[in-house]
Amino acid sequence: MEIKVVRKVLDVNNTIAEQNRKLFADKNVFVLNVMSSPGSGKTTMLGKTIGRLMPEIRTAVIVGDVSTTNDADRLAKTGAPVVQVNTDAFGGDCHLAAHVIAKAAENFDLAEVDLLIVENVGNLVCPAEFDIGEDAKIVVLSVTEGEDKPLKYPLMFRVCDAAVLNKIDLLPHLDYDKNEAVRNIVQIHPGIPVFEISACTEAGMEPWVIWLKEKVKEKHV
Amino acid sequence: MHEMGIAMQVVEIAAASIPEHLKGSRVQGVYLKIGKLSSVVPDSLRFCFDIVSKDSAIAGATLYIEEIPVTARCKSCDHHWTIDGPAFSCPRCGSATIVLTSGQELDIASIEIEEKPIGDQETV
Ligand SMILES: Nc1nc2c(ncn2[C@@H]2O[C@H](COP(=O)(O)OP(=O)(O)OP(=O)(O)O)[C@@H](O)[C@H]2O)c(=O)[nH]1
Ligand SMILES: [Mg+2]
Ligand SMILES: [Zn+2]
């Protein structure tokens, strides 16, 4: 006998994500989910970004990490409150789930936070599928990865609201076709803003920071 | 990569979907719909499902996976098509304002339960 079920497998996660979204809306907190493959420069780029946001935009950070690295310490240097979470709570080490964010967010006084940045686990596959209750998702790609990354991970580039192409300071030393990379991103997600930056030299940071500030302010009006 | 977690959710939802009056009946199959854009790898999900379901209320069930193609509709010209390459703009008018109409599913559609032999049925 066939019994109809018709439920999303990720129902539980989606429900908690909606609760998070409501909580963050009540507290006027803009939530940014930052994803990338390992080592593309999320922590470096976020450190530099937060430096340009604070104190105007009060920022807090949740860092997801598979093992203990010093990402949290590095980001705490910006003066922003930082919480590091382990990611083995949902049957794997590959992404942050909504309940992990709910728990981690308890560590902050959200009334004192305008922007909550979540540095997701370095992985271009799984985080794309897990809603955490964020307002925007971005993906960081570095020029040391293949130009065809967007074509290999279409869901990630589809779901993101902006893409950051990092480490452009290395371009002179590489045989990397930046235009092809951007073309591939836009092919997957027409119209997506792509910010070409170097987190190290801080080249190109300004347009990205302006985009983020605008997003945060949109939520506050 | 998170197939184990997905498998756990599938088993939990499937077990919870057994109607009260059929509790104890054998669940023969669990039917999933997985969109091609989803990152779940069917083979590893089946592998994890077998491990996770072994000691559950749906022990012995087979996992059936239907893969759903990625389809889209153009907001400008209403064209509807199947996307089979990494191109997400309208092949008819070139517009980029498209909505994905399928391909991101990760749904349990149904479960198949063995009918209880007549003699086993409780009287109401
Ligand atoms: N040349 C260059 N190196 C960079 C840049 N941004 C980051 N790096 C280097 O890339 C390495 C990884 O940077 P992280 O910021 O730790 O990258 P991540 O994405 O946070 O890494 P995980 O959290 O481990 O996934 C470090 O050695 C950084 O110094 C950049 O713009 N240019
Ligand atoms: Mg990091
Ligand atoms: Zn069209």
Q: Read off the pLDDT of residues B59-68 as tens digits, 9 standing for 90 and up.
A: 999 999 999 9
Which pLDDT belongs to residue A94? 79
Mean pLDDT over the full length of chain B:
90
- Indicate whether B8 belongs to any domain: yes
- Indicate whether B93 belongs to any domain: no
B96 CA from centroid of ligand 3 (Å) = 8
Give Cα separations from A95 to A65, A134, B12, B89 (angstroms): 9, 14, 20, 29
DSSP state of A93: S
Residue ID of nearest Cα to ligand 1 atom 7: A41
Strand partners, A62: A83, A118
CA distance A4 to chain B (A): 4
Contacts of A151 in chain B (CB under 8 A): 86
pLDDT digits (tens, 9 = 90+) for B108-120: 999 999 987 555 5
- Indicate whether B29 belongs to any domain: yes
- The answer to whether the Cβ–Cβ distance between B1 and A154 falls below 8 Å is no
Among A33-42, A82-91, A106-115, which stretch is predicted with the lowest mean pLDDT? Answer: A82-91
- The secondary structure element, H or E, covering residue A101 is helix A98-105
Find the chain A residues whose C-beta atoms sit closer than 8 A to any C-beta of B.
1-12, 90-92, 94-95, 123, 125-126, 128-129, 150-151, 154-155, 158, 184, 187-191
Give Cα separations from A146 to A14, A19, B86 (angstroms): 32, 37, 16
Ligand 1: which of A40, A44, A170 to mutate, judged by most atoms within 8 Å of the beta carbon? Answer: A44
CA distance A149 to chain B (A): 11
Contact B32, B38 (CB under 8 A): no
Strand partners, A142: A166
Size of interface A-B (CB pairs under 8 A): 103
Distance of CA B66 to the CA centre of its chain: 7
Contacts of B2 in chain A (CB under 8 A): 90-92, 94-95, 126, 129
What's the maximum distance between 2 C-alpha atoms anywhere in chain B?
64
Domain extent, residue B109, equals 3-69+102-116
- Indicate whether B14 belongs to any domain: yes
Report the C-alpha gap between A124 and A98 in whole angstroms: 17
Ligand 1: which of A35, A43, A50, A165 to mutate, judged by most atoms within 8 Å of the beta carbon? Answer: A43
Contacts of A190 in chain B (CB under 8 A): 88-89, 96-97
Which pLDDT belongs to residue B121? 53
- CA pseudo-torsion sign A129, A134, A138, A139: negative
Number of domains in chain B: 1
Contacts of B87 in chain A (CB under 8 A): 187
Q: What's the angle, vertex CA A10, arms to CA A93 and CA A88, rounded to 5?
A: 15
A178 CA from centroid of ligand 2 (Å) = 23
Reported as a pLDDT band with limits 50, 70 and 90, residue A67 is low
Report the C-alpha gap between B53 and B63 in whole angstroms: 10
Tokens of A153: 């991970």
CA atoms within 13 A on the CB side of A79: 11
Report the C-alpha gap between A31 and A197 in whole angstroms: 22
Complex-level ipTM: 0.77
Q: Where are the alpha helices (DSSP H) in B17-89?
A: 42-53
A206 CA from centroid of ligand 1 (Å) = 19
pLDDT digits (tens, 9 = 90+) for A103-138: 999 999 999 999 999 999 888 988 998 999 999 999
Q: β-strand B80-83 against B70-74: which pairing, if any? A: antiparallel
Report the C-alpha gap between A99 and A90 in whole angstroms: 9
Give me the domains of chain A, ranges plus CATH numbers.
28-220 (3.40.50.300)
Is the distance from the beta carbon of residue A37 to the nearest atom of ligand 1 less than 6 Å?
no
Would you give the end-to-end CA distance of chain B in angstroms?
47
Ligand nearest to the CA of A48: 1
CATH number at residue B43: 3.30.2320.50
Which pLDDT belongs to residue A89? 46
Is residue B7 scored above 90 in pLDDT? yes
Report the C-alpha gap between B96 and A50 in whole angstroms: 33
DSSP state of A26: H
Omega before residue A55 within 30° of 0, cis:
yes
- Indicate whether B83 belongs to any domain: no
pTM: 0.88
- Indicate whether B97 belongs to any domain: no
